[in-house]
Structure 1
Amino acid sequence: MSLESSSDDVLPTLQANQLSLHVGQASDKGVKASNEDAVGIRIPSGLMLTTKGIVSVISDGVSTAENGAQASAISVSNFISDYYSTPDTWSVQTSSNKVLTSLNRWLYGLGQDYRDARRGYVCTFSALVFKSCTAHMLHVGDSRVYRFRAGELVKLSRDHSTSVSETRHYLTRALGMDVNLEVDYKAISLEQGDVFLLTTDGIHDVLTDHEMSHFLLGFMSKHPQLSDQQCEQFCDQLVHKSLQLQSKDNLSAQLLYVARLPSQAIDDVYQRLASKPFPPPMDVGMKLDGYQVTHIVHQSQRSQVYRVVNQEGKAFCMKTPSVNYLDDAAYIERFMLESWVGNRINSPYVVSIAEQQQAKSALYYLTEFLDGLSLAEWLVHHKKAPVEDVLRLVKQIELGVRAFHRKETLHQDLKPDNIFVTRQNTVKIIDFGSCHIKGIAEISTPLIRDQILGTADYTAPEVILGYQPDSRADLFSIAVIAFEMLAGELPFKGQLNKCHTRQDFLKLDYVSVYKLNPMVPEWMDKVLKQAMSIEPAFRQADTCEFIHQLCTPKQEGVTKVSVPLIDRNPLKFWQVTSIILFISLVISLLN
């Protein structure tokens, strides 16, 4: 369900001024009959500029492949369109790699249709994605990416080619060359005034880095702050200069000038975040924007949750921020991101954000109203629940968590209080206040973002120890919850919340779940124990593998129980015993 458009205002508010570039590009076929190079730049506006950034791409079709020109054109146009179609919760690296992997396989497949390598779809590819205060470089082939800063030109990319003579070079990596693709990735911190130059080999094969640096330095001495027109003028002059030096290839260049970076002034950011007032604490019967409070569901130091009904009598849950944090910009940012995240997680096992037709007069958000009880309450009434009941609920929890992970988002606070079981026995994961969103983490902000840790009884060791967690941290939490549902108590004798150092975690004593609940099969305990390994690397690769193992009975090797001979064949036992005693007696007599 979609929120009103103002719900997305949280991202632009994190930066008082948005990123601004001045750009230009030029491409020429040179002495060749056709131009196999392709270039493209897209500068989006509004929310897309914040979440996805500015993209610049340059590509050179490999001349030994008949369809190199088509490959370069496809790679530029498709990368730009597909990159902006990826979820805005994804990081630049994840979005780009997924798009390039798909693009490479498509080009490779087109080439295979001809069954002739000379007619393949092969090209170089170099791209810069400018997001917030960082440039992300993606590179494969021998096109080049340079940065010009403080009068110095630095080559950021490396050529994926090998030389067999002074005039002959062969690519070792390119798009469409192989079914598997290895892309160079680099994140570069931006400074205002940075200049980035992208070229194909028609230019840098005839101009040395020193010559290009000298040429750019001279141009910028006349134009210290480049405009779009001047950026394009430089590219035209660079192409013309290369032609004068008798370049024998297509020639393409792009120039991008960082005119402005997002503001890092905390006061500016706070003013934008605080544009909507905090609602006051409300009692039953009070109204806000036409929603009347019928019950106070939850109150804490950080927030309030109310059951409200609209004018048609439809029930919702309303979450409001606590006035205790009225002047805390980091808290306001996190609260606003809760609805932003919830609006992007589409799963029947995650509480949905409610659509609102009218503008908000205050800071709050609505979710669907859930009728049932929390998993914490469920556990009170279902001590050592039947295995099949536990598996049915844990499967749904995993599906909900998987929806977060597909958006490159960690929940980070999975616990029974944040999991709801409806009257239809459907699980709903609630509360997005501790979520870590990879794509949002890339957006620079002057705020000191508070790292809200989950409840210690359910939180993975790496989170407590301050390491950077991944999806296996949520996996750990799911395993703890599953253990508690089966055993009727927390794992490690309930000592997780007392661990503060690595040594504390290593000293934990794991008690097998089947010892606490004999109805749990031993193979299931092994799956849970692995998922709760102190070292993330020892756990299952992801929640999908965990749930598969947990729900798939494993046939343990049949161990033959050794039954004593006296029980299996008493007569034979005494016969053998008598013979042994007789032999022992004879030996003693002979001695």
Structure 2
Amino acid sequence: MQSHLKNQALSHITNKGHDKETDVEQDIILSSSDTGLTLPNNKQEQLPISGALEVHAGQYSDKGRKSENEDAIGIKIPTGLMLTTKGIVSVISDGVSAAEGGAKASAISVSNFIADYYSTPESWSVLTSSTRVLTALNRWLYGLGQDYRDARKGYVCTFSALVFKSCSAHMLHAGDSRIYRFRQGELVKITRDHSTSVNEYTSYLTRALGMDVNLEVDYKQLNLEVGDLYLLTTDGVHDVLTDHELKKMLAVFQENNITISDQACEHFCQQLTDKAFKFDSKDNLSAQLISVSQLPTQAIDDVYHKLASRPFPPPMEVGMRLDDYEIIKVIHQSQRSQVYVVKNSQGEVRCMKTPSVNYIDDGAYIERFMLESWIGHRINSQHVVKVVDHHLNKSALYYLTEYLEGLSLADWMAQHQRGPVEDVLQLLKQIETGIRAFHRKETLHQDLKPDNIFITREGVVKIIDFGACHIKGIAEITTPLKRDQILGTADYTSPEVILGYQADGRADLFSFAVIAYEMLAGEQPFKGQLAKCHQHSDFLKLNYVPVFKTNPMVPEWMDTALEKALSIEPSFRFVDTNEFIHALTTPAKAEPKTTIPFIERNPVKFWQTVSVILLIWSLYLSLV
């Protein structure tokens, strides 16, 4: 990766005409160590996919004819794992002149967004990471502005950003700064100005950071192509240079630079701002140019070679050794994997999971196996099994977890048919805490079932097995591998997953509710017919049987929560597992029963009945 930014987060405010002391005061340099994120430095933490995204970037900012530069610009191009999981960030911001803290607001928004975005979990999607950061940043600026009587004169600035990740660009925008894309000779403005014009010379922002406690940000995901040019400008540039002029300059730039460099991009930005200045711009002048030079489109053979860098261990028996670990027990062997109890030379007992040699030439399988360890390192919860091989140098492909003594939830349920309600609720609360730990990392477990839930001898519940997990942030990364959608066990999988629809946390909620029902009723919901459903019409035919009909000890208000969580339509379920567990453990208040008059319940039927009665009465009177 070549960049004149030298892998630093650079938030640079250039103030042409200021003295040196002022310039130093307003230049903000953020090194990667300032992000508050500690990167793993061992092989076990590396993703089994790589991001060969390359861009060249340049930026320039000038105070123009104003006494102070209230614009802020920043670009960060990381390397290694961070480039793959988080991508490249480019941000431009314009402090609102009417706001006393406008200059500070723009500098804060650029520097803090870059630092905080890279501090969010690697498993989060770009949308989740960026909106969480912007929401907090907006409220902070709004709070700073409350020292002023008029909030619009506080810390207010525009904000426009691009996040380049894998083969996509993610746009985030609020205000009247702009982002353009130049592709194959065509210029497209991909943002819209959040402003309203009062007259030819006056306009007001309708949306900006720090303007209101609630922030609405435009978001758009765009496909990248090699050769794309992305131009970000503040209004000091695009208010005086027309789109036609910008298009002409970009076309000339591309023609004159067959091989685009960082220096060429920076020179273009300076030329652009100089031209705006000559066109009598009276505002600050800032521009950024990013050129996409390479996308992560590796050949399948290259990816497989990287994935197969460690050999598969053969099926092992008790007494055999792998690295520093001796096999002392075989727990599980199947067509897809093996699980052993192992002990090292220090006497530490662990569980070891190894891939099956049946898939030694299956790149998608190897990628998913490696992701299991990657996920385990990032889920930190008392109720999720811990991966414990952070600093181990391995000679083969495997990973280690903590060793658990106890029994699976499936075994517990076999011993406790229709378990006591209080005992069941205590276990469900722990399971929910574990599920929430996955969802906080924007990861779906997708295979929640009694066999994948363990209860230790101390009564602590642990969710195990990460083999079917879906990670939103990783799903955004392009790979030539054909990733198989690993479905969970049909008896516990939500309808939307079975039908191939897009799933979210409510899919895990459904599986969790199936487990809860089975623990309370001693049998599966829908009379055990869930696994036989393959089409939407099959699910609509399912008949829900109230849990209290099989277990009279379960109160009706608990059954109401279960029925809602087991809704075939995801939108009818609870928002998340926390809301479900609250409803399941909180007695519902009895609503006072009131008799609604028939005329209010069915006014049409009421007047039809009255009409019939009057007709009969009229006929009777005529006969008499």
TM-score (norm 2): 0.88
Which of 381, 405, 414 is 2:439 aligned to? 405
Q: Deviations over 1:305-353 (max 9, x none)?
A: 0000011111100000000100000000000000100110000000000
What is the 5 A alignment of 1:59-208? 59-117=93-151, 119-208=153-242
Q: Deviations over 1:427-446 (max 9, x none)?
A: 00000000000000000001
Q: Which amino acid aligns with 1:209?
A: D
Shift of 1:265: 1.2
Does the aligned pair in 2 maintain the 1:2–1:355 contact within 8 Å? no
Shift of 1:370: 0.4
Counterpart of 2:163 in 1: which secondary structure?
strand
Which of 23, 43, 48 is 1:6 aligned to? 43
- Matches of 1:429 and 1:117, distance apart in 2: 48
Q: Which amino acid aligns with 2:203?
A: H
Does the aligned pair in 1 maintain the 2:101–2:153 contact within 8 Å? yes
- Matches of 2:58 and 2:153, distance apart in 1: 32
Q: Which amino acid aligns with 1:6?
A: K
Q: Which amino acid aligns with 1:363?
A: L
- Matches of 1:263 and 1:451, distance apart in 2: 21
Shift of 1:18: 1.5
- Matches of 1:45 and 1:59, distance apart in 2: 25
Name the counterpart of 1:23.
57
2:505 maps to 1:471: yes
- Matches of 1:545 and 1:229, distance apart in 2: 53
2:363 maps to 1:326: no
- Matches of 1:357 and 1:160, distance apart in 2: 50
Does the aligned pair in 1 maintain the 2:310–2:397 contact within 8 Å? yes
Counterpart of 1:333 in 2: which secondary structure?
helix
Shift of 1:51: 0.5
Shift of 1:541: 0.8
Name the counterpart of 1:456.
490
- Matches of 2:196 and 2:463, distance apart in 1: 53
Does the aligned pair in 2 maintain the 1:193–1:225 contact within 8 Å? no
Name the counterpart of 1:431.
465
Name the counterpart of 1:345.
379
Q: 1:356 to 1:150 in 2, by over 3 A?
A: closer
Q: Which amino acid aligns with 2:46?
A: D
Q: Deviations over 1:232-264 (max 9, x none)?
A: 000000011111100010000000011111133
What is the 5 A alignment of 1:506-517? 506-517=540-551
Paired residues, what number? 557
TM-score (norm 1): 0.93
Name the counterpart of 2:529.
495
Shift of 1:226: 1.2
Shift of 1:57: 0.3
Q: Deviations over 1:529-588 (max 9, x none)?
A: 11000000111111010000101112334679xxxxxxxxxxxxxxxxxxxxxxxxxxxx
Shift of 1:145: 0.2
- Matches of 1:193 and 1:285, distance apart in 2: 58
Does the aligned pair in 1 maintain the 2:63–2:283 contact within 8 Å? yes
Which of 573, 583, 590 is 1:549 aligned to? 583
Q: Which amino acid aligns with 1:446?
A: P
- Matches of 2:413 and 2:39, distance apart in 1: 33
Shift of 1:189: 0.6
Which of 222, 233, 236 is 2:256 aligned to? 222
Which of 249, 255, 277 is 2:311 aligned to? 277
Q: Which amino acid aligns with 1:485?
A: M
Counterpart of 2:342 in 1: which secondary structure?
strand
Does the aligned pair in 2 maintain the 1:412–1:473 contact within 8 Å? yes
Shift of 1:139: 0.4
Shift of 1:224: 2.3
Give ranges in structure 2 of 5+ residues lacking alignment. Answer: 1-37, 595-624
Name the counterpart of 1:308.
342
Name the counterpart of 1:35.
69
What is the 5 A alignment of 1:247-396? 247-396=281-430
- Matches of 1:127 and 1:555, distance apart in 2: 48
2:84 maps to 1:47: no
Does the aligned pair in 2 maintain the 1:8–1:47 contact within 8 Å? no
Shift of 1:2: 11
- Matches of 1:559 and 1:253, distance apart in 2: 66
Shift of 1:480: 0.5
Does the aligned pair in 1 maintain the 2:151–2:211 contact within 8 Å? no
Q: Which amino acid aligns with 1:271?
A: H
Q: Deviations over 1:255-298 (max 9, x none)?
A: 00111111331111111011000000000000001100011001
Does the aligned pair in 2 maintain the 1:294–1:306 contact within 8 Å? yes
Shift of 1:4: 7.2
Shift of 1:8: 2.3
Counterpart of 1:38 in 2: which secondary structure?
strand
Give ranges in structure 1 of 5+ residues lacking alignment. Answer: 561-591
Name the counterpart of 1:237.
271
Shift of 1:166: 1.1
Does the aligned pair in 2 maintain the 1:412–1:435 contact within 8 Å? yes
- Matches of 2:390 and 2:490, distance apart in 1: 36
- Matches of 1:468 and 1:48, distance apart in 2: 27
Shift of 1:151: 1.1
Q: Deviations over 1:445-479 (max 9, x none)?
A: 01110001000100100000100111001011111
- Matches of 2:270 and 2:379, distance apart in 1: 46
Counterpart of 1:360 in 2: which secondary structure?
coil
Counterpart of 1:186 in 2: which secondary structure?
strand
Name the counterpart of 2:476.
442
Shift of 1:9: 2.1
Does the aligned pair in 2 maintain the 1:4–1:359 contact within 8 Å? no
Counterpart of 1:243 in 2: which secondary structure?
helix
Counterpart of 1:343 in 2: which secondary structure?
helix
Question: Identity of aligned pairs, percent?
Answer: 70
Which of 43, 47, 58 is 2:92 aligned to? 58
Does the aligned pair in 1 maintain the 2:142–2:151 contact within 8 Å? no
- Matches of 1:455 and 1:380, distance apart in 2: 18
Name the counterpart of 2:604.
none
Q: Which amino acid aligns with 1:415?
A: K
- CA RMSD of superposed structures (Å): 1.4
- Matches of 2:291 and 2:41, distance apart in 1: 35
Does the aligned pair in 2 maintain the 1:3–1:354 contact within 8 Å? no
Q: Which amino acid aligns with 1:177?
A: M
**Which structure has the larger Rg?**
1
Does the aligned pair in 1 maintain the 2:435–2:445 contact within 8 Å? yes
Q: Which amino acid aligns with 1:188?
A: L
Q: Which amino acid aligns with 1:79?
A: F
